[in-house]
Amino acid sequence: MVSARTVASAVTDPELPMLTLADLGVLRDVDVDVDGRVIVSITPTYSGCPAMDTMRDDLDASLRAAGYRDVEIRVVLSPAWSTDWITTEGRRKLVEAGIAPPGSAPRRSAGPIPLTLTAPAKVVRCPRCASTDTVQLSEFGATACRALRRCRDCGEPFDHVKEI
């Protein structure tokens, strides 16, 4: 029997099917208790992530198909998901799919979060031509976790997983 962790780690994200839930850092833990029950913990990327139900069903179905009869999927909210948890492999797959991976998540010091009245300058490499001459079109893109950018060299628009 394939280990529960291996099975769960292979389940892909419904919206970015080139990445696994493990690549995204959404899969937090896989445990098998003394009674043989598999307990999988997942965390949502954003509060409103509409893919959570599908992820839950996909994990459940994959584990059952692999022979695990007793499966429980738990949601953990804390600590809150960060793009820093996307693995190196996950970042490579994002670029391959034409999506720019996130930079480092902002480090929050104590006290109010400073206002940014102009989009902060950051170096984001075009996933198509590798140019760093890219510009943000919108901080909100096709899904909650992505911003929309355009490359000034090759002219192509692309998604960028924004840092949180």
Partner 1 sequence: MFDNAYEALNAEGDTRWAFGTGFADPLSGMDTAVPAGVDAADLAAYCLMLGDDALIMSHRLQQWCTCAPELEDEVALANIGLDLLGQARLLLARAGKADGSGRGEDELAFFRSDREFRNVRLAEVTNGDFAFCVARLLVFATWRLALMQRLVDSDDPVLAAIAAKAVKELAYHRDYAARWVVRLGDGTELSHARMRNGLDAVWSYVEELFAAHPVERRVGVDPSTVRAEFDGVLTEVLAAATLSRPEVDGLAGVSGHSGRDGVHTEAMGYLLAELQSVARAHQDATW
Instruction: Point out which residues bind partner 1 (CB under 8 A).
Output: 14, 41, 44, 46-50, 52-54, 56-58, 60-62, 65, 72-81, 112-113, 115-119, 137-144, 148, 162, 164
Compute the least distance from the CB of residue 90 to partner 1, in Å. 19
Bridge partner residues of 73 (DSSP): 40
Residue with Cβ nearer partner 1 (92 or 157): 157
Residue with Cβ nearer partner 1 (92 or 138): 138
HSE-CB at 34 with a 13 A cutoff on CA atoms is 0
Compute the least distance from the CB of residue 124 to partner 1, in Å. 16
Compute the least distance from the CB of residue 78 to partner 1, in Å. 4
Residue with Cβ nearer partner 1 (92 or 106): 106
Instruction: Compute the distance between CA of residue 44 and CA of residue 54 in angstroms, rounded to an integer.
Output: 12
Compute the least distance from the CB of residue 114 to partner 1, in Å. 9
Compute the least distance from the CB of residue 105 to partner 1, in Å. 9
Angle at 141 (CA atoms; ends 17, 107), nearest 5 degrees: 90
Instruction: Compute the distance between CA of residue 159 and CA of residue 149 in angstroms, rounded to an integer.
Output: 6
Instruction: Compute the distance between CA of residue 160 and CA of residue 51 in angstroms, rounded to an integer.
Output: 19
Residue with Cβ nearer partner 1 (57 or 92): 57
Q: Are 94 and 143 in contact (CB under 8 A)?
A: no
Residue with Cβ nearer partner 1 (130 or 157): 157
Tokens 């009674």, located at residue: 35
Instruction: Compute the distance between CA of residue 38 and CA of residue 64 in angstroms, rounded to an integer.
Output: 10
